Each structure stands twice: as C-alpha cells, then as structure tokens.
Structure 1
Amino acid sequence: MNLFRKKTVDQLVADSTPLKRTMRTFDLTMLGIGAIIGTGIFVLTGKGALTAGPALSVSFLLAAICCGFAGLCYAEFASMAPVSGSAYSYAYLAFGELIAFVIGWNLILEYALQAATVSAGWAGYFNKLLGQFGLSLPVELTAAYGTTPGVTTYFNLPGFVVVLLITWVLSIGINQTKKTNDIMVMIKLAIIALFIICAVWYVKPSNWQPFSPYGIYTFQPGSTQPYGILPAASIVFFSFIGFDAVSSSAEETIEPNKTLPRGILLSLAVSTVIYIIMTLVMTGIVPYQEFAKFIDAPVAGVILYTGMNWLAVIVNIGALVGMTTVMLVQLYGQSRICYAMGRDGLFPKFFSEVHPKHRTPFKGTWFFGILTAIAGGFININILFELVNIGTLSAFIIVSAGVLWMRRTAPDAHRGFKAPGVPVVPALSIIFCLVFIAGLNWETWVRFAIWLAIGLAVYFGYSRRHSKLEGAGNAGAPQVAAAKAE
C-alpha cells in the first residue's frame, strides 16, 4: 500500500476533462479581487482598528506579504500544472496521494465555512438595507438560531437564498459566472472609490497619533486578548483568504501558464493597496478607540461619524455586493476542488460529472451549494471561523514546501513562471504561516484534529481503494514532464 503515490504533470493534464476555456487575465484578477475585497473592509477593519490602532494598515501589509510569498509559490505551481484542484493537485504532484487528500479535505472546509459565515454577514447588511427603506423580514428569519443576543431567531433566510442563487449562477456556466463576478467587482470598486473620495476630506492627521499605540505585540491589563500589529495581522489575514481559488480555474483559463500567475499576483497587489488606503482613511476620520461603537459595521459607522448619511445606502449596497463576490469565489473554488478529487477517484464519480450543455461540474456544485446554504441558514458557525484560517494556512505551507521539493527533485520541469528568491521566498511563506497558526486558540486545534480524523476515515474507508492510481497500480513517478495547456 503506497500512501504517497504521485502523479506527474502529464498524468494530471491527461486526466483532466477540459471545461470551457474563457477566462483571461482580467477575469482572473477580478476573480481574485472578488474573493479578497469584502469582509475585510466591511467587517474586520473595526476589530482590527481596536487591536492595532492606526497601525492597522501595517497589519494589512504584513498579512499581504505572507499571502504574497504564498501567492508566488501558487503561481509557479499553476504555471507548471495548469489543472483544476489548486493546492490539492499541487500536493498530488509533489508529495503524493495522502497529503493531497488531506489538503483537499482542508480546502473543502475552508471554502464551505467561509462562504457560510459570509452569508451570515450578508444577511445582516441586507436587513439593514431593508430597514433604510422601511421594510423588514420577520425577526425569526433574520439569523441562524441563537445568533442574535436577546432576540429569538431560527433561520437565516436571506443568507440561505443568496447562497442558492450563487450556486445557480455557478452551475449554469463559467461565462455567466465570470460576467456576474466582473460586474459585481466593478460596482464594488466604484463604491469603495466613492467612499474614499468623499471621506478623505474628513481625515484629521492628529487621529493617527500615536500611530502604533500597542506596538508589535502586547497584553493590556485585565485582558486575555493580545494587542498590537501582529495580533491584528492574524485577524485581517482572513481578508486575503480566497486568492488561492484563482488557481482552481486552470481548466477554464486561456493560456493558463501565463494568465494564472498574473491573475493571482495582480489581485493580491490591487487588494493590498485598497486595504491600506481604506484603513488609513478610516482611522484618520475616527479615533481608533471609537470603533468599539460600530465594530460590526465599521464603514457605515465612519459614514455616520462624518454626517454623510446619504452615502450609507450606497455603502450598504457595496457591502452586499462585496460579500456576494466573496461567496461566489469560495463556492466556485469548492466545486472545482471536489471536481478534481472526484475525477481522481478520491470522491464518488458524482462530483466529477460535467454537464453536457453548461460544461460545469453541475451535480457537485449543487450538492455543496445546498449544504453551505443549510449551514449558513441554521447553524451558528461564528465559533468555527478560525478553522477557515488554519485550513488555509496548512494549504499555504504545503504549496510552499512543494516548490522547494520540486525545485530539488524536478529542476528541469517546465515552468511558465518561476517564483523568485527560492529557497528564501517559500521558506518565509512557511515561517509566516507557522507564526499565524501559533496564534490560534487550542479549541481551534481540537476542532481541526476532529475534522482531520473524519477525513482520514474517509480516505482509508473509501478513497484509497477507489483511487485511479490504485486501479492502475501506479506508485507514482518522481519525474515531471513538460505539459502543454490547451
């Protein structure tokens, strides 16, 4: 029994079922921005400002650097193995089947929990927008059971419906998906630009003093929560989760060897600049201590602070659009990971069946879309949100280590893009990820261990015996051949 049997690039490409190739660099960049810009600006900036003060912009920069190092490693793998599956496929290539399955299992957790969690935030902004027009839903249908203190709630109807609508868009074709995402991202960026242009006149440089009131890392008297630039970076790291989903679109991308690296790195760069500008403007308008008054909706709070109430409705729309694109990209990435695992035999064939008309993994998309909608509708999943972080960081570590390993074992393999500064860049990516993981609480580790235990039971109970490599008796070859993308 070879638990670490590998695939070559030729095998990965040969096993792929070409989906409809329509994605270009612009579409991939919009896909990445759609995944990144959303919750970070409209939710996490409040808690981040309380944790780091005006130095929150530095925290965003540190989180972006960590993701940038990982992004360079993703870009190299994407240019070498332009197939669906993202980190799952890259791990199959570098470390073998068992590691690949574990990473794929973690990515499913990452994408599902983030999409379900964002659906809860989306519902909150949707209810606020209805209120601004004098409308309302029955309070029992505004949130999952027990998520609103002092109020009896049973079901998150808005979140449930929006996830199903996004699933429908994903299921009917990549053309519809990319057009929907491109339009929403452009609307979101326009609203953010409008906010910056209107709000920058209210900035008072004195509010940036002291710029870093808590330093790099410190504990305040009477508090168990750390403060400073590093703890805030761990919080806002969530903001960048999702750019890795861009690499899941390899089989729907034109010239993936070139366009995938560009899309990954451009989306990270643009999003980082936006985050830094937004946080400087927001902390320049409102003293950082004041964010405690509107921690759940910091951008709306800044608007009310300036008195520009007319802008509130527009920003609420921007928040809804922003969170919608995040869910769209997460559900897209999830369906493509499951598609790749089903194609390899590690999941039932059901997940890899491609719709003859839409050329999408139709059944798998709906299966996980419905599960995610139910999770967001009924379950209070806020306590599980850190699992998104640990699942993503583990994938980043494997991909970064994979670049180091492949440079050693397959130095002559075809690479359309080479990460610069190897071995330093992958090593720094691993170090950053380990630092962020070390900051997670022990409950997260326990839940993560339980999830891994379930995954290993699935692998040894089903996946190992049904793997296509098992049927072929292939122990995996370490050599990597040059692959030509369609």
Structure 2
Amino acid sequence: MDLMRKKSVDDILKNQSPLKRTLRTWDLVFLGIGAIIGTGIFVLTGKGALTAGPGLSLSFLIAAICCGFAGLCYAEFASIAPVSGSAYTYSYIAFGEMIAFIIGWDLMLEYALGAATVSVGWSGYFNSLLESIGIHIPTVLTAAAGTTPGVHTIFNLPAFCIVLLITAIISIGINSTKHVNDTMVFIKLAVIVLFIVCTVWFIKPANWHPFAPFGAYTFHHGTAMGIIPAASIVFFSFIGFDAVSSSSEETINPSKTIPRGILISLAVSTVLYIIMTLIMTGVVKYTAFANYLNEPILAVLHHTGQGWLAALVSVGAILGMTTVILVDLYGQSRISYSMARDGLLPKFFGDVNEKYQTPFKGTWFFGILTAFAGGFINLNILSDLVNIGTLSAFVLVSAGILVLRKTQPDLHRGFRVPGAPFTPIIAMVFCFVLIGGLNWQTWLRFLIWLALGLAVYFGYSHRNSQLHTNK
C-alpha cells in the first residue's frame, strides 16, 4: 500500500482548469485583507488585552511574524504550482498522498469551522445594530443553546442566514465574489481609519504601564496569561490569508500575483492591528475590556464620549466579519474541489457548473453544513481547533520548502523564499511556540478529528485516488 505516492509538478500543471482566470494583484490583496481584518480587531482584542495587557500589540506582532514567514513559504509553492488546493496541493508534491489528505482534512476544519465561528461574532454585532434602531430579534433565535448561562436560546438565526447568503454569492462566480469582497473591504478600511483618526487624541500613556503585566508567559489563577498565550489567541485573526493561494486557478499570472497578494495583505493587516491595539489599550485601561469582551471597540467609544461612532463601527464590524466568512467559504470550496479532482473526495465536490464556472454543488454542501454549525453549535470551545489545524498546515508547508529545495532543486520558481533554509525553520519554530500555547483539550479534539480523517482516507480516498486508478 503506497501511502506516500506523490504528484509531480508537471502532472499538476497539465490539468486544464475549467475555472475562469479573472483575479489580479489588488483583487488578491483585498481578498487577503478581507480574510484577515475582522474578528481580530472587532472581537479578539478584548480577550487578548485581558490576557496580555497593552503588550497585546506584541502578541499580534508575534502572530504576524509567524504568518509572514509561513506566507513566504506559501508564496514559493504558489509560484511552483499555481493551482487550487493551497497547502493540500503543496503537501501532495512534497510529502505524498496521505499527508496531503490529512492537510486537506485540516484545511476543511480551518475554513468551515472558522467561518461558522466568525458568523457567531457577526451575529452579535448585527443584533446590537438592530437593537440600536429599535428592531428586536427574539432572544431564543440569537444564539445556540447553552451559549449564555441563564439565557434561554435555541438557534442563531442571523449566523445561519449570513452563511447561506455568502454561499449564494460564492456559488454564482468569482466575479461576483470579487466585487462584493472589494466593496466591503474598502468600506471597513474606511471605518477603521475613521476610528483611528477620532480616537488617537485620547491616548493616555499611563494606561500602557505596566506594558506586559503578565510577562511573556505565566499562569494566573490556573490560566495561561501573557504575551505568548495572547498570541495563540489572536493567531485566529490571521487565519484565512492562505486562502489567497487557493485562488491560483482563477488568477492572472499567479506565479507573480499570488506572492504579492499574500505578502501585501499580511503587511497592511499587521500594521493596522498594531495601531488599533496600541490606541485601544492607550485610551482605556486594559482591565476595562472585561465589561466589553465581545465588543471591545465600544469600550473606547464610550470612554471618549463618541457614541455617534458606534453605529459606524458596528457597520464596519459587520462588513469586516462578512468578508472573513466569504473568504473562508471560498477557500473551503476550492480545497474540496481540488481533493475531489484528485479522487480523494467524491466527484460531487469537484463538479463545476457550466453556467457559473464554479464548484456549485460542493460550495452549497459545505455552506449548508457551516450554516447549521453556526446556528446550532456552541463554538466557544472549538475555535482553538481552527488554530491548531492551521498551524499544522503551516508547519508542513514550511517543511515542504526544505524538502523540495533538497529533492527538486531545479524546479522553476517564480518566487524564492529569501534566507532559506533558515526562514522555513523559523516559521516552524514560531508555529510550534503558538501550538504550545493551546490547551490539552484542543490537542485531544484535534487527534479525534485526525482519526476521523484517517478513517475516510483508508475507507474511501486511497482506493479512489487518481494515482491509484491511473496505474
């Protein structure tokens, strides 16, 4: 049983894709920013500030450096094999089929569960906006059962509906997805810039002292605190930038535009995250975010007496998280499409609609599952699963660069990771540090997910793989 059979770059590039190439560099930059800027600024800064204090800005920087080094590795792979599939395809080239399947399985966890998790945060801001204009959704339809102790809830209707709406947009073509994403990203960036301009004047440097009240890593009342644990939390903010590499088959000149899209979007997002966290922890004492855990920006607005900005910020938050959901669902559909094309998932997921030129059926299948997950499941304890799955993919992509530099040094590379082999090694070290900040329950759930994946691989994928059937 050949578990490590590999696909060659030549064989991958021979595939004639039915997907339409329309994306350019700035479309990919906006796609990356759409994936990154959202939950991190509008939700996670509250929990992150309580974990790291004003040092949260360093936590974002650590997470960004991890993603930046990994992003360089993604960029080289994208220039070698500019096709859909992201880390899944790259692992197929470097390590072989079983590892590739496991990474594809992890990416489905990252994108689908990530989109469901963000949809819950989206629902919170959407409900707040409706409340501000006098519209009230019944409490039982605002969250999954058991989400809030003492509050009777059954189903998160807004989360369910937004996922279905975005699924519809993605399913009818990349052009509609691109235009919707670009518009929403532009508006949310404008809201963020407005927030910065209006609040920077209220900074009190005394609020930054002590800058790192819990140090780099410590235990406080049995909970991991400090800059490193906070980096493990806010890493979720950067998840999704790798979806840019999933768009390779729909990108014009992908060997150049994919690396540019990944690196520019990461750079812009990191700068904005650091500026925002410094302003927020400078305007109010970090301990104040305990009362605004899910809507931390509102703490700043109330403190500065700029209530008039609250509605605009809510709109920015809604749009910000909408684009994150959009990019996650887009990445999910392209990963399952690539795996189905290789025979590792049923052909249903790789069926491209002639009218829309998208994997229509697979997009709707995972969109509906994600909508129900956001509507019915309490995702608070599962979000770390997204982090560990993504970090595992980053480790393998980084290791794959080292393997291919050794085994296939003559491959055409439109982009080369600078500083190799040190850069990929540094990327892996950062990933392992962030994985170390996650709790043992997350590891256990991740191992269960991997066990389910191996059951699917040995039960279906191995014998239906194109590499097996084409022998």
Matches within 5 A, 1:141-152: 141-152=141-152
Q: What secondary structure sits across from 1:382 in the alignment?
A: coil
Distance across 1 between alignment mates of 2:286 and 2:121: 22
Q: Is the Cα–Cα contact under 8 Å of residues 82 and 256 in structure 1 kept in the other structure?
A: yes
Distance across 1 between alignment mates of 2:77 and 2:63: 21
**Equivalent residue letter for 2:99:** I
Deviations 1:335-379 (A, max 9, x none): 000000000000000111111011100000000000000111111
Alignment match of 1:402 (pick from 400, 417, 432)? 400
Matches within 5 A, 1:89-128: 89-128=89-128
Matches within 5 A, 1:414-429: 414-429=412-427
Deviations 1:248-289 (A, max 9, x none): 000000000000000000000000000000001101100111
Q: What secondary structure sits across from 2:415 in the alignment?
A: coil
Distance across 1 between alignment mates of 2:27 and 2:124: 29
Aligned to 1:179: 179
Alignment match of 1:262 (pick from 260, 263, 269)? 260
Deviations 1:150-208 (A, max 9, x none): 11111111010000000000000000000000000000100000000001111111211
Q: What secondary structure sits across from 1:219 in the alignment?
A: strand
**Equivalent residue letter for 2:427:** S
Deviations 1:201-258 (A, max 9, x none): 11111211222222212223xx111222111111111111110010000000000000
Distance across 2 between alignment mates of 1:286 and 1:15: 55
Q: What secondary structure sits across from 2:382 in the alignment?
A: helix
* 1:279 maps to 2:277: yes
Distance across 1 between alignment mates of 2:442 and 2:162: 28
Aligned to 1:229: 227
Aligned to 1:64: 64
- In structure 2, do the counterparts of structure 1 residues 178 and 318 end up closer, same or farther at CA, with 3 Å as the change threshold? same
Aligned to 2:166: 166
Deviations 1:59-115 (A, max 9, x none): 111110011010000000000000000000000000010000000001001111110
Alignment match of 2:322 (pick from 288, 303, 324)? 324
Distance across 2 between alignment mates of 1:24 and 1:193: 25
Distance across 1 between alignment mates of 2:452 and 2:142: 32
Q: Is the Cα–Cα contact under 8 Å of residues 228 and 437 in structure 2 kept in the other structure?
A: no
Q: Is the Cα–Cα contact under 8 Å of residues 51 and 229 in structure 1 kept in the other structure?
A: yes
Distance across 2 between alignment mates of 1:62 and 1:135: 41
Q: What secondary structure sits across from 2:370 in the alignment?
A: helix
Q: Is the Cα–Cα contact under 8 Å of residues 219 and 227 in structure 1 kept in the other structure?
A: yes
Distance across 2 between alignment mates of 1:25 and 1:422: 25
Aligned residues: 471
Deviates more, 1:64-73 or 1:141-150: 141-150
* 1:311 maps to 2:309: yes
Matches within 5 A, 1:69-468: 69-220=69-220, 223-468=221-466
Q: Is the Cα–Cα contact under 8 Å of residues 107 and 392 in structure 1 kept in the other structure?
A: yes
Shift of 1:20: 0.7
**Equivalent residue letter for 1:291:** F
TM norm structure 1: 0.96
Distance across 2 between alignment mates of 1:451 and 1:410: 32
Shift of 1:16: 4.8
Q: Is the Cα–Cα contact under 8 Å of residues 29 and 262 in structure 2 kept in the other structure?
A: yes
Q: Is the Cα–Cα contact under 8 Å of residues 16 and 83 in structure 1 kept in the other structure?
A: no
Shift of 1:149: 2.1
Aligned to 2:7: 7
Distance across 1 between alignment mates of 2:121 and 2:208: 29
Q: Is the Cα–Cα contact under 8 Å of residues 300 and 316 in structure 1 kept in the other structure?
A: no
Distance across 2 between alignment mates of 1:13 and 1:353: 19
Unaligned runs of 5+ in 1: 474-486
**Equivalent residue letter for 2:231:** A
Shift of 1:422: 0.4
Deviates more, 1:180-189 or 1:375-384: 375-384
Deviates more, 1:142-151 or 1:210-219: 210-219
Aligned to 1:51: 51
Distance across 1 between alignment mates of 2:467 and 2:402: 25
Percent sequence identity is 69
- In structure 2, do the counterparts of structure 1 residues 393 and 91 end up closer, same or farther at CA, with 3 Å as the change threshold? same
Q: Which runs of 4+ in 1 moved over 3 A?
A: none
**Equivalent residue letter for 1:198:** C
Distance across 2 between alignment mates of 1:139 and 1:436: 36
**Equivalent residue letter for 2:84:** S
Q: Is the Cα–Cα contact under 8 Å of residues 288 and 299 in structure 2 kept in the other structure?
A: no
Aligned CA-pair RMSD: 0.8
Shift of 1:148: 2.2
* 1:41 maps to 2:52: no
